[in-house]
Amino acid sequence: MTTSARSLQGLTAPTGAAVLTGLLPALAAALDGNGPALLPLPTGATRRALLYALQPDQPLESDDVAVVVPTSGSTGEPKGAMLSAAALRHSARATHERLGGPGQWLLALPVTHVAGLAVLVRSLEARIEPLVLDLYGGFDPAAFDAAASRLAPGVRHYTALVPTQLARLLDAGVGLSAYDAILLGGAAAPPSLLERASEAGARVVTTYGMSETCGGCVYDGRPLADVDVEVRDDGRITIGGPVLFSGYRLRPDLTAAAVESGRLVTNDLGRWGDDGLLEVLGRTDDVIITGGVNVSASFVERVLSGHPQLRACVVVGRPDANWGEHIVAVVQVDDWDAVPTLAELQSFSLGKLDGWQLPRELIVLGMLPTLPSGKPDRAGVRRLVLGEG
């Protein structure tokens, strides 16, 4: 392993005004090569594991690294995606090109995640100071609403959200028409949520990407400029181009396993639609094997999430003596007086799912467990279903 002379600074990720006074100048210096690379760290229980795995006191592997983004991927193993200044800047410029030009961003996501950091990089590229929400007590729709009055006049306005945040804003009746685009990523968005957002006047752009691609690199099914997306014969999505990461911090073994011939081999399954747009079907590690047939849990989730009575849905497998596993739909509803039955969900899904893809069990929760990023906690739901605590 080679090392560089550049140092890595681990810092507690700020929120609110401290982002502007502390993190933003440090990020600008890191991108320009005038300061150490940055490792934003959370304050929760994962901090110690990240410090042990990423060792900010050790030299960096490469001088071009500007940011190391903590990520656990699908395995839960702490790791750090090393992102170069060139990759981050290309992502920011390609985003503005796709959206219609630079603008002012409202940061509503934690900066420990690549989507939050990307908002700051775009702001630096646009040379327009972002607005920043204080997320210390969690995401507050009222604070988001109030921020609209502080948007700078005469420029385009953007923000980035995860589906859970968008749903909360719509529930609270927050106006979203002030934003020229709302990037929506982090998890698959239910069709019903996108319909609600459109009816409310929100201009939502769905994104697909990951820490290893500087965040979203496919917008509304179309790759950003110079991003090369392919779907292999086995259905796995691979990505090449200038937004790719420089490897995993101190883990050349993981880098070698994830990158083939200069391309990131993702754990996502996809296909190209007749309209030429990329459709992400699910993950290789969320496959449920029932009756000897592989079923993508994410694909079933997207279909079920279109049911008007469902707020959110996670699909998992439960061991079954006859089928190996059977499909369990764990759902969150809007109205406890209108909870759909299993038979109603199956009927709703016919024509969209084959018989072997239909759920055989329904569990209704008041609130699905979520990760700090706002994504559904699939592992937590699985533990709940299997009675593992």
- CATH code for the domain in which residue 129 is found: 3.40.50.12780
> Both 339 and 244 in a single domain?
no
Name the domain boundary from 237, 268, 299.
268
**Is residue 1 included in any domain, yes or no?**
no
Count of residues in the chain: 389
CB 69 within 8 A of CB 113: yes
**Is residue 144 included in any domain, yes or no?**
yes
**Is residue 44 included in any domain, yes or no?**
yes
> Both 262 and 332 in a single domain?
no
Asked if pLDDT for residue 73 goes beyond 70, the answer is: no
Rounded to whole angstroms, the Cα distance separating 175 from 146 reads: 10
Owning domain of residue 315: 281-386
CB 297 within 8 A of CB 315: yes
> Both 249 and 285 in a single domain?
no
H/E element, 162: none
> Both 200 and 305 in a single domain?
no
Rounded to whole angstroms, the Cα distance separating 98 from 95 reads: 5
Give percent of the chain above pLDDT 90: 70
> Both 260 and 325 in a single domain?
no
Name the domain boundary from 236, 268, 300.
268
Rounded to whole angstroms, the Cα distance separating 50 from 71 reads: 9
> Both 147 and 213 in a single domain?
yes
Residue 380: count of CB within 10 angstroms of its CB: 16
Rounded to whole angstroms, the Cα distance separating 13 from 41 reads: 5
Q: What is the pLDDT of residue 216?
A: 97
> Both 320 and 380 in a single domain?
yes
On average, the pLDDT of the chain sits at 92
**Is residue 376 included in any domain, yes or no?**
yes
Asked if pLDDT for residue 389 goes beyond 70, the answer is: no
Per the structure, how many domains does the chain have?
A: 2
Q: What is the pLDDT of residue 3?
A: 61
Rounded to whole angstroms, the Cα distance separating 154 from 252 reads: 47
Q: What is the pLDDT of residue 74?
A: 46
CA 285 to each of CA 193, 268, 294, 338: distance values in angstroms, whole numbers, following the listed order: 25, 8, 11, 33
Residue 285: pLDDT band with limits 50, 70, 90: confident
- Give the CATH number, domain containing residue 287: 3.30.300.30
For residue 135, what is the DSSP state? -
Residue 290: pLDDT band with limits 50, 70, 90: confident
> Both 176 and 203 in a single domain?
yes
Radius of gyration over every alpha carbon of the chain, rounded to an integer in angstroms? 21
Supply φ then ψ for residue 4, to 5 degrees.
-120, 175
CB 326 within 8 A of CB 295: no
Asked if pLDDT for residue 173 goes beyond 80, the answer is: yes
Which residue has better confidence, 73 or 24? 24
Asked if pLDDT for residue 75 goes beyond 70, the answer is: no
> Both 190 and 332 in a single domain?
no
**Is residue 273 included in any domain, yes or no?**
no
Q: What is the pLDDT of residue 76?
A: 55
Which residue has better confidence, 137 or 26? 26
**Is residue 48 included in any domain, yes or no?**
yes
> Both 238 and 121 in a single domain?
yes
Tell me the mean pLDDT in the region 81-103.
98
* Torsion on CA atoms 45, 49, 50, 51, rounded to nearest 10: 110
Asked if pLDDT for residue 215 goes beyond 90, the answer is: yes
**Is residue 249 included in any domain, yes or no?**
yes
Tell me the mean pLDDT in the region 63-92.
88
Q: Which residues contact 336 (CB under 8 A, 6 or more apart)?
A: none
For the stretch 314-355, pLDDT in tens is 999 998 877 888 999 999 988 898 899 999 999 999 888 888
> Both 263 and 167 in a single domain?
yes
The residues pairing with 1 across neighbouring beta strands, listed in sequence order, are: none
Rounded to whole angstroms, the Cα distance separating 223 from 221 reads: 7
> Both 82 and 230 in a single domain?
yes
Rounded to whole angstroms, the Cα distance separating 163 from 184 reads: 7
For the stretch 42-55, pLDDT in tens is 887 678 888 999 99
Q: What is the pLDDT of residue 45?
A: 67
CB 6 within 8 A of CB 36: yes
Name the domain boundary from 211, 240, 268.
268
**Is residue 66 included in any domain, yes or no?**
yes
Which residue has better confidence, 213 or 305? 213
Q: What is the pLDDT of residue 244?
A: 98
The residues pairing with 82 across neighbouring beta strands, listed in sequence order, are: 68
